[in-house]
Structure 1
Amino acid sequence: MWLVSDDDTQIYMLGAMHALPRGTDWERGKVADAIATADELVMELSPDELAGAGAVFQSLAPRTAPLAMEKRLPPQALAGYRALEARGGDFGGDTLDDWAVMVLMGQRVAQSAELDSSDGVETRLTEQFKDARKPIRGLETAREQLMLFETLDPATQRTLLTRAAENSGNAVKDVGALTAAWGRGDVAALEKVINEDVDAVPAARKAIITDRNRRWTAWVHQRLEQPGTVLMAVGAGHLVGPAGVPAMLEAEGLEVRRVQ
């Protein structure tokens, strides 16, 4: 968690994990203080937008015409895809866009790793801020977020899907390493695990990570013009590395301090 502030505003930036193993204890120390003192919670999606995300996914995910996975994936990737599919049932991938299949694969990996969004950072924070009757806002809409994938060019979508399928055999282990790095606050390990894969697909990195970080950096600048204390919780990958929000803010002359 990082802090950027001026004379009358404090913005805590918490790197969140969207899903975690049941019973993960992370609401301690400075994080607990930030939760208690914040006037509002800002996440990638507001609770209402998150609740409607499934319907938005269903509207955007279908292909214009079905295309068999055998025609999309080379043999090794197809084998990985089928193995992952066998763990929990048919994805219905033939009827879906490449990006949508990849999203469903990621959900299956999280399930296999025994991670649950109901135990994720955003869910727990939402419960606490609702109980405290403090406002909860979002930086994006569900449609805006999913359109980042929908509007990727076909070659980039296919590359992402192929890489996900090829690496699916190690995916549960990789997710475990990511969760462990987050739990011990190991920023260098987080940066390596989170960014190493997406760095190999520059168009995806730009759309999904870098451009959003720039928009959120601009949001922080604007929010500093209003007094108060804000807890901003976004995916941990957006806060680490030279293209993370804290680094972008520092590059623009603001003092950013890691507080936990």
Structure 2
Amino acid sequence: MYLQLTGTHVRLLGSMHLFPSTSRRTPPWVAEAYDWAEALVFESDPPTILPFLKADARHGAAQLLPLLSADAWSQLQAVWPVEGALAPLVELRPWAALIVAPTLFQQVVEGVEPRMLRSAIAQAKPFSYLETAEDVAAALETIPLEAVGAALGLLMADREEPQRTLERMHDAWLDGDLQTVQRIAIESPMFNLPGIRHAILDARNRAWAARLKERLDERERTLVVVGALHLCGPGNLIECLAHPVEAVF
């Protein structure tokens, strides 16, 4: 979960972007990693994705109507925000609906990155990002429409699953147990649908690895903070880097 790229000044930290509201604990190795770093690298800057969430009428979430039961669509509409950047549902891109929908059934607090970012700003610690919001949107746009519809259908059939999965994953993450994090993820129905893992994890891992390889000769102690799922399973970031690593924790 906290790894040193051998022979470099770069470390990887597997994070959780959100914590369950019932357990706000952060393991000690997260603070240790932050203190070690002279510079931070995060995945992307979340607020910058907002302009990419909406689509014109032909490309919005209304495309999902034929792929969901009338009951599932009605339930989704009933819980969807009625104002703000995420409203209305029909104007969102299908992938945006997919990413947002599980969070509507979770009770969460902010995870690792917002806390680290605030500290970095307060302490004038340099930080940068592995990708732009445009990069993120382009990757998520590749998720097949059928997979989005299937995932939302599964979600509406078991609306408690996102919270269960989050709590179990957080417990495993606190223990630094990447294998269990991976096992929990693959037990989640959405995770196994064609195209979803590829877009959210695999394609981005390859792009990040190419960018990180350019930084391996830097002398500055650099902490790269990515979601824990990017560090486990086939095609993970460590595999894509093809560089030996040593566990710090």
Q: How would you bin the TM-score normalised by the shorter chain?
A: 0.7 to 0.9
Partner Cα distance (1:79, 1:202) in 2:
25
Number of the residue aligned with 2:11: 12
- The 1:158/1:121 distance shift into structure 2, 3 A limit, reads same
Q: C-alpha deviations, 1:43-85, integer Å up to 9, x for none?
A: 011xxx333222332xx34542773865431367447636xx4
Percentage of pairs with the same residue:
25
Alpha-carbon spacing, 1:108–1:215, altered in 2? closer, same or farther (3 Å):
same
Aligned partners of 2:74 and 2:36: how far apart in 1?
50
Counterpart check, 1:122 vs 2:113 = yes
The Cα offsets for residues 202-254 of structure 1, whole Å up to 9 and x where unpaired, read as: 322222211211222223322112222111111111011232212444xx3x2
Q: Secondary structure at the match of 2:195?
A: helix
For residues 197 and 221 of structure 2, the distance between their equivalents in structure 1, rounded to whole angstroms, comes to 30
Gaps of 5+ in 2: none
Which of 76, 83, 86 aligns to 1:81? It is: 76
Q: How does 1:89-108 map to 2 (within 5 A)?
A: 92-108=88-104
Contact 1:3/1:257 (8 A) holds in 2:
yes
Residue matched to 2:58: 64
Kept in 1, the 8 Å contact 2:5–2:246? The answer is no
Aligned counterpart, 2:48: 52
1:213 aligned partner, one-letter code: N
Instruction: State whether structure 2 residue 159 is matched by structure 1 residue 160.
Output: no
- Tell which deviates more after alignment, 224-233 or 144-153: 144-153
Aligned equivalents of 1:247, 1:69: Cα separation in 2: 35
1:24 maps to which residue? 24
Correspondence for 1:256 among 239, 245, 249: 245
- Secondary structure of 2:14's partner? strand
Q: 1:2 — aligned with what?
A: 2
Aligned positions, number? 243
What are the Cα deviations for residues 13-46 of structure 1, in whole angstroms up to 9, with x where unaligned? 1111111145723252x4323211211110011x
Structure 2 CA distance for aligned equivalents of residues 108 and 94 of structure 1: 16
CA shift, 1:173, in A, is: 1.8
Deviation at 1:168, TM superposition (A): 2.3
* Structure 1 residue runs without a partner (length 5+): none
TM-score by structure 1 length?
0.79
Deviation at 1:154, TM superposition (A): 2.5
